Amino acid sequence: MSAYIARHEMAHGVSQKYIDHKTGRRKELFSELERDCSNIDLDLFPVRDLAETMILLDPQAAMVETWESWTAAMQLHSAVFALSEAEKGSVVECLIDHKVRRLKAPGMLYCADPDNWENAFLLAVVCRDNARAEALCRVPVERLRQAAEGAKVTYNEYTYHWISALQAYVNGTPDLVDELRRAMELSSPSRGAFGGDALDLLAFPPMEVFRRLLMGDSDKFNEALVYALESHKRYYDERKDDNRVRGIVPLSLLAWACLAYDKSQRSPDFRLEVESEYLPKHLVERSWYGEFPV
């Protein structure tokens, strides 16, 4: 099969001037981290949002500046967990935006939670940073739960099993199948999960895509990926009247497409046959990988 999925209609576009302003602000944020990183949580959204927004100007991620934005987002998200796991007051060296920065660990960060862990992990997958992905998979799931509880944020229970499945995948532990099955089962509203139609359209489909990737059947994988992309599009199509630019890149689906592309390069029997505005070509094909140290 071969399929192409267009992106949902955006409420408005962005200008190069806007991108330049946000890029300058990103550099300021990173410089401020070296003075005090206790509020690093405030930097996560703008930095990741810039990486996604750049895709509107550079849909295929053909520019090195887009790659810089994505690697910077990965570096910052991973730094959250390096800092949170370090002894309070110790100095943690983190490469962020082409510079090794000496950051003072503030103690446990409440933003080192399940949502930011998943973003950090998926960004590492997209950027093909195995070392960061492996480091993230050494963070105990219970630490993520503690961070969420400290911030008084409640997550669906399936989230913790989903993260456990991803960690099992990277760590090569035998609980992968059980954790993935449990996550998929618990993501159903009938099992008490909350989130409305986001569960069916945004939460469950990426798990199925991941499952199909593990099984190694490229036809089934491509079918699941098409369905997941169409579900993502449907979700944001139904919310296009709120005048916000959202859902530019479904990060989990991009990450699994990246793994599928890499698998296709190793195995001639496996093929990635889905193209989409949601899956920037040069991120999927790691065209800029190795351009500079990350």
pLDDT above 90 for 239: no
Q: How confident is the model at residue 243 (pLDDT cuts 50, 70, 90)?
A: low
Q: Are 213 and 221 in contact (CB under 8 A)?
A: yes
How many other C-beta atoms are found inside a 10 Å radius of the C-beta of residue 241?
7
Q: How confident is the model at residue 242 (pLDDT cuts 50, 70, 90)?
A: low
pLDDT above 90 for 6: yes
Q: Which of 13-17, 68-72, 147-151 has the lowest mean pLDDT?
A: 13-17
Instruction: Give me the residues paired with residue 276 across strands.
Output: 5
As a whole number, mean pLDDT of residues 192-208 equals: 93
Those residues with Cβ within 8 angstroms of residue 239's Cβ, 6 or more apart along the chain or in another chain: 246
- Residue-averaged pLDDT of the chain: 96
pLDDT in tens, 56-89: 999 999 999 999 999 999 999 999 999 999 999 9
pLDDT above 80 for 186: yes
pLDDT above 70 for 20: yes
pLDDT in tens, 96-109: 999 999 999 999 99
**Looking at residue 172, what is its pLDDT?**
98
Q: How far apart are CA 270 and CA 90, in angstroms?
A: 46
Q: How far apart are CA 40 and CA 99, in angstroms?
A: 17
Q: How far apart are CA 237 and CA 231, in angstroms?
A: 10
**Looking at residue 12, what is its pLDDT?**
75
Unique residue bearing structure tokens 């944001």: 236
* CA distances for 266 relative to 259, 260, 263, angstroms: 11, 10, 5
Q: How confident is the model at residue 10 (pLDDT cuts 50, 70, 90)?
A: confident
Going by C-alpha positions, the residue among 185, 192, 193, 201 that lies closest to residue 252 is: 201
For 171, the token pair is 């760590």
**Looking at residue 244, what is its pLDDT?**
67
Those residues with Cβ within 8 angstroms of residue 30's Cβ, 6 or more apart along the chain or in another chain: 43, 72, 76, 96, 97, 99, 101
Q: How confident is the model at residue 127 (pLDDT cuts 50, 70, 90)?
A: very high
pLDDT above 90 for 23: yes
Percent of the chain with pLDDT over 70: 98
Residue 9 vs residue 117, higher pLDDT = 117
**Looking at residue 190, what is its pLDDT?**
83
